[in-house]
Structures are given as structure tokens and as C-alpha cells.
Structure 1
């Protein structure tokens, strides 16, 4: 599952995505030929170029983001029927192999295909990797919806420690822009938009229930801001038309803008208090708004569903 806004964010983030740790990996994989269609050829190339598991995982992430395109028409590819657990396991194994071959040749997939190919590449490089399924939130309309398994991602193990990865969301489908927010992600950030069907796969110690997840605001990226006021992801315009927000931040914010549907409004009164910032959003400025999105210095930070009854 993807959203237009996520693609926009990824373009912004990719401009300064290089970290010192991965500069060499990124520079090499960005220059891999575009016509690698053989699974084993890709595995051998990565194995030759990189020595550590973390570098190999980064190389897989980069190659897939640069060479696989999300295509909703691929949903349900090679689905099958089964009557027993044994039959399911046998058919699923064969399906995964067909899916991998198809993705390598066609360079298109949906989230399940991304997760399957990522797992198969890791496993072939002797890196433990699991597929995780669960619910996702990509737009403000998703806030408050009932729990539906609609997405797939991965857990990869490096030095026996599990890490969260979502290659689908790392892939922006826009040139060479890659979103690294979903590479070895912080579980506290990841749970804002990804809820696994088995909670232990969240990698969190403290339980967040499905009902809590459903009501969380939509967080657009890992950034320097954290909501500390007590808003859920659903704002009631009738009960509270003016919302007082407070965020913690470790950097100066020069401008705050909020979008009510497609109309934008500048916050004129911003109160700084040490490492926190306070301001008010007036939902009445757009009579029929159904969503509110906050932008700090042109960067989309957080989104809410707005109820008008």
C-alpha cells in the first residue's frame, strides 16, 4: 500500500539520505546495471561486492527500490487453493519461486512480491529474514478503520538482532529517490503506520492494541518532531474546533502551515518553550474539511482525520 504523499516525502528525504555508514554501498549499488534479470547473478554480484550482512541487506534494499516498480495489477499473482496445511506449504514454496522469477523478469510487484523477493535474496545470502503481514495506514482516511491485513514487509536479522524493513515504502517509483525511513526502522516509528498480525513482530516491548493503532495519527517520516499533546488521530470539529498542539523538537521551526483538505493556512502565533513548540489550529477555517495535515518548514509531519459530526 502506498500513497502519493509518501512519494513526495521520499523525494525530499532522498536528497540527504546518505549516511557515512552506507556511502560505499549506496554508490556501488546506484551504479548497478538496470538489466539484471537473473536472481543468482544478482546474489553473486552482491556477495562479491560486499562482505558484511548489513552492507548486503542495504544493497538488496537499494537494488529493489531502484529496479522494482509497484503495480497494483500484480495483486494476487499466482494465488492458489489448498485443502491442508501440507498442501499449502508445498504450493506456497512453489508460488514464491514463480513470484521471484516473475518479478526479476518483469520488474513489477505489489507489497507481497517485494517482501518475498527481499526474503529470498537475503536467504540466498545466508541472512535470516522473515515475511510479516499486517495492517497499514497510508492516508488520513485510514485512521480509525477496522483492522484488515492489507500489507507485507520484512524482519531481517543482523548479528541475531531483528530489524524492521519495508522495501515497498522505501521504493518511491520516482527516479533514483529512495526513502530510507523504512530501512532498519525504529519500531516506535514503524508502529505508527504498520501493525503486524502477530504483535511480537512489532519488536516493541510494550503492547499497543489494534484499537490504539487505529486511532493513532498518521506520521509521515522519521523527523525531529514528536507530538506530546494528547490528540488522537481523529479530531472532532464540532466538539473542539480549535486544537491546541504541542510538539517536542530539537531544532527551530521557521514556519508552520496546516492543510485542511487542499486549503493551506499559516500559523501566526508559535510559542517556544525550551525544546517544545505550541500553536493552535482552527478547523473552522475550512467548513467541510475531512483531514488536517501539519507542515513544519514545508515538510509534512503529521496527519489527522477530521469528523464533522
Structure 2
């Protein structure tokens, strides 16, 4: 969590619509194996760690892959520090001097905890990725902005609450988020569980912007940039959208109003590996949920059109699922004619 600082960046030469697909021909097995070989290594000597992770890899993308995998699988998300920082920053957001002092104090604590315990918040992940990449002569930036989840930045904005990275490979800029790749907090026990998600590595900008909005919108890396209001009101997108490479296209807003008997129509971009028979909608109304099989039509543009006509009025949460995994959520108001 960084303070609301705009970072002055050299933006000339930023390329757009870069994503992991550009490196489909690259075999990352060696990079992943090297990251695994050095599992548990100390971070008190970062030049040595960067050397060990990258020296035997021939390309910059493989070197960055080894760094990214190592950070994502060796650093633990410090949930309690995140909660404390969130509470303090929200409390002090109208007192700029007190907020600045808190940010300085908290940053120092973040890096002490990172070095001592290998636990951190998003700022620490982004710092470690940038530092190791720079030691390997790979250009990398820390991007500050807004992360969106079920409880944050839905409809209304919070203060900036997240940091991630942009990395330059083969003359193009790519986006990645080692914090969200690393795993998740198991809420009942408030315990972090490592569960690597490759979808945030060199992510698709169109999908990435649905839950990452940078303070400097150059780092959206898209020709047509959504506004901050678009970001706040978009459908909720979950981690399995990234791991399955599924991008919601329409509706662009989370909330939709339709008439009884009218169909909700979703348009998503999905890889051919997705089995249409695994797609379902979970409808939640008044705390009661049921899973239905929608009508699904592949389009001539490589998209999937998903339709379900609502026979009854009411307010619904609509979850798009692949198997047991939640992909995205919409809300639907169904009214009488």
C-alpha cells in the first residue's frame, strides 16, 4: 500500500495491448525450475539472489519469469499489516500531514518485516519485483493505484490501495501483480495460503484493468482507456477469470435492468479450451441461490454469448461460473412490463 503519490515516469515508447500471449513460444519450465531450486533463499543479499535466479537463463523474459515466480511463491501476504494500514489510511485521509507521517512509518515497518519474515503487503511485493528485475538489467516500474474486490471500490472509491508492476520486455510494456499471483487469505482463519495464479503474470490489459486502475492512466496500456467511473461500476472479476483467461466484454456495467421475460445477455471472450458444458449461472435472490444452465452461442468473432431469460421479477446477484469457479458477478433488477 503506497501513499497517494504520482510517480513521474518516462512514458515515451510505451506500447499497448501487450500480454502473455506474445510469449507462447517461450518454454518457461527452466525458469520455473530455477525459481523452485532457490526456494527459501534469503532476501538479505538481493544482488546474489538476482544472479542465482537469472544467470543461466538466455532471455530477459525467462529471467523475469524466474524472478516473478520466486517472489510470488516465497513471499507471504501480511494480512494483518494490510488491515491495519487500510484502517489508518482511511481514518487519516482528511489529514494530509498525519497521513504522510503514517505512510513513512508504515513503509519502514513493511520493509523491516519483509527482510525479517518474508511477509509483506503489495508495496513490498512490487518493490521486490522491481529491485530484482533492475539488478538483472530489466526495466521495471512500480505502479500505484486502485485494486478492486468484493469489498473495495465497488460503486464508490476508496483511497488508492494497491501497487503492482509494469515490466519492459522486447520493447513492450507488460503488467503483472505478484501480490495477487501469490495466493489468498483464508478468511475463516485469517491465514495466508500460497496458491500461485499465473493469470496475473504479463496479464491481458483488457482483463487487468477490470480490477487494477492506475493513478497514471498511461499504465492501463490500452488505446481506449476506461474512465475511473467505468472501473468502479464494472462487473466484479475474480481470480479464476485470470487463470482461465476469460474476459467479460458486455455488459460493461455491473448492474443491469431488464423487464420480466427479457434475457440477460453476457458476452465473454474465452479460450477454445473452455468446455461450454462447464459454464453455468448462479442466481441469488433474497439469500436463496440456484444454479441454472444458460443458453450459450459461440459468435463469429470468437466470443461466447450467454443468455438467460428471467421469468420472475426481483433483484438478483448473477454469478458466471466455470465448473465450481466464480468468474464474474453482475446484479440484475427484473421489473414488470
**TM-score tier (shorter):** 0.7 to 0.9
Specify whether residues 234 and 130 from structure 1 end up closer, same or farther in structure 2 by C-alpha distance, changes over 3 A only.
same
Cα distance in 1 for partners of 2:34, 2:298 equals 45
For residue 12 of structure 2, what is the aligned residue in structure 1?
none
For residue 166 of structure 2, what is the aligned residue in structure 1?
155
Query: 1:50 aligns to what SS in structure 2?
Result: coil
For residue 76 of structure 2, what is the aligned residue in structure 1?
69
Cα distance in 2 for partners of 1:307, 1:59 equals 47
Of 168, 171, 174, which aligns to 2:182?
A: 171
For residue 253 of structure 2, what is the aligned residue in structure 1?
232
* TM-score between both structures, scaled by the size of structure 2: 0.69
Q: Would you identify which runs of 4 or more consecutive aligned residues in structure 1 move more than 3 Å?
A: 94-102, 173-177, 222-231, 239-243, 248-252, 261-264, 273-278, 281-285, 305-309
For residue 58 of structure 2, what is the aligned residue in structure 1?
51
Are the counterparts in 2 of residues 132 and 154 from structure 1 also a CA contact under 8 Å? yes
Specify whether residues 303 and 101 from structure 1 end up closer, same or farther in structure 2 by C-alpha distance, changes over 3 A only.
same
Query: 2:183 aligns to what SS in structure 1?
Result: coil
Query: 1:33 aligns to what SS in structure 2?
Result: coil
**How big is the shift at 1:193?**
0.9
Cα distance in 2 for partners of 1:166, 1:229 equals 25
**How big is the shift at 1:115?**
0.9
**How big is the shift at 1:306?**
5.5
1:266-286: CA deviations, max 9, x gaps?
32452435554332164969x
Return 5+ residue gaps in structure 1 as ranges.
2-17
**How big is the shift at 1:231?**
5.3
**How big is the shift at 1:96?**
7.0
For residue 6 of structure 1, what is the aligned residue in structure 2?
none
For residue 124 of structure 1, what is the aligned residue in structure 2?
135
1:292 maps onto 2:292 in alignment: no
Of 229, 250, 254, which aligns to 1:211?
A: 229
For residue 15 of structure 1, what is the aligned residue in structure 2?
none
* TM-score between both structures, scaled by the size of structure 1: 0.75
Is 117-126 or 295-304 further displaced after alignment?
A: 295-304
Return 5+ residue gaps in structure 2 as ranges.
2-23, 90-95, 185-191
Are the counterparts in 1 of residues 260 and 312 from structure 2 also a CA contact under 8 Å? no
For residue 284 of structure 2, what is the aligned residue in structure 1?
260
| RMSD (CA atoms) | 3.8
Of 210, 215, 218, which aligns to 1:200?
A: 218
1:246 maps onto 2:246 in alignment: no
1:224-268: CA deviations, max 9, x gaps?
65545435112358x669652233554541141314277542324
Cα distance in 2 for partners of 1:303, 1:140 equals 13
Query: 1:232 aligns to what SS in structure 2?
Result: coil
Query: 1:34 aligns to what SS in structure 2?
Result: coil
Of 282, 297, 304, which aligns to 1:272?
A: 297
Query: 2:27 aligns to what SS in structure 1?
Result: helix
Count of matched residue positions in the alignment of Structure 1 and Structure 2? 282
Are the counterparts in 2 of residues 143 and 234 from structure 1 also a CA contact under 8 Å? no
Are the counterparts in 1 of residues 142 and 166 from structure 2 also a CA contact under 8 Å? yes
Is 96-105 or 31-40 further displaced after alignment?
A: 96-105
Specify whether residues 35 and 187 from structure 1 end up closer, same or farther in structure 2 by C-alpha distance, changes over 3 A only.
same
